[in-house]
Amino acid sequence: MSTIKLVIELKKYTVFLIVFIVLLLGFFSGMHLYNTKQKDIVDEKIAELVEDECTYLGETAYKEDLITVNNKEEKISPNCTIILKIYYAKCGHLVEKKKIVEESEVNLSEEELRQEFADWELQKFTPTEIVLYKEMDKYCGEHYVLKEKNGNIAVFRVDEDSKETLAELTDISTKYLEAEDLEKIKNGIYVNSKKELNETVEDFE
């Protein structure tokens, strides 16, 4: 092999080597760029995922808050007033009674209250006010009759079966009553409310 040929051969190798190195460098830098880009994409995806999870957790917490509030709304509070309305069909009176909630009734849900007052109609349910209603085929407890007993005017309560029981013996003597009033008392003066009873008794005093 001549020296010139050798030089040419060497140059050829050098060219190949340079081309090869350039290609190799190009390949690696390409790979590096690709990896960096992929890494960025992955990072972005993780960021999105974290964000999604946060939103999801946030929503869950929000939903749990709503449930807690709903539960609170559905339970009887300790300062709740229960209004019991009874319609007495025999006299047509609607009697309303208010009662403070009992300890055993605090925190009951609407459904539990319905079970507790099974024979009542639940007309209103809020944590602070409950209205229960029922009808009874009776006279209410507000019916009285004034009669004479032991020479005085006596008040008898008339119950659902028209049975009369002594409620109060007044100190109003029948001795000084006018004949007309005495006649009325002997027959019995029927009144249909406590107010009417008080007014009638006052008339005799």
Closest C-alpha to 135, from 193, 85, 91? 85
Least CB distance from residue 167 to Zn ion, whole Å? Answer: 15
Closest C-alpha to 171, from 197, 187, 192, 150? 150
String of contacts with Zn ion for each residue 82-121, x by CB under 5 A: ------x--x-x----------------------------
Least CB distance from residue 199 to Zn ion, whole Å? Answer: 16
103 DSSP 8-state letter: G
Looking at the Cβ atoms of 125 and 144, the one nearer to Zn ion is 144
H helical segments located in the chain:
3-74, 110-116, 179-187, 194-204
| Beta carbons within 8 Å of 128's beta carbon, 6+ residues apart | 77, 79, 80, 81
CA distance 112 to 134: 18
By CB under 5 A, tell whether 138 contacts Zn ion.
no
By CB under 5 A, tell whether 140 contacts Zn ion.
yes
Least CB distance from residue 122 to Zn ion, whole Å? Answer: 24
Least CB distance from residue 95 to Zn ion, whole Å? Answer: 7
Least CB distance from residue 93 to Zn ion, whole Å? Answer: 3
200 token code pair: 């009638």
Least CB distance from residue 197 to Zn ion, whole Å? Answer: 12
Q: Select the span of 71-79, 107-115, 132-140, 161-169 touching Zn ion (CB under 5 A).
A: 132-140
Q: Which residue has the tokens 């009992």?
A: 102
Looking at the Cβ atoms of 87 and 182, the one nearer to Zn ion is 87
Backbone angles phi, psi at 89, to 5 degrees: -65, -35
Q: Select the span of 13-21, 104-112, 115-123, 138-146 touching Zn ion (CB under 5 A).
A: 138-146
By CB under 5 A, tell whether 76 contacts Zn ion.
no
Partner residues linked to 97 by β-bridges: 84
Looking at the Cβ atoms of 93 and 184, the one nearer to Zn ion is 93
Partner residues linked to 157 by β-bridges: 144, 165
Which positions lie near Zn ion, rule CB under 5 A?
A: 88, 91, 93, 140
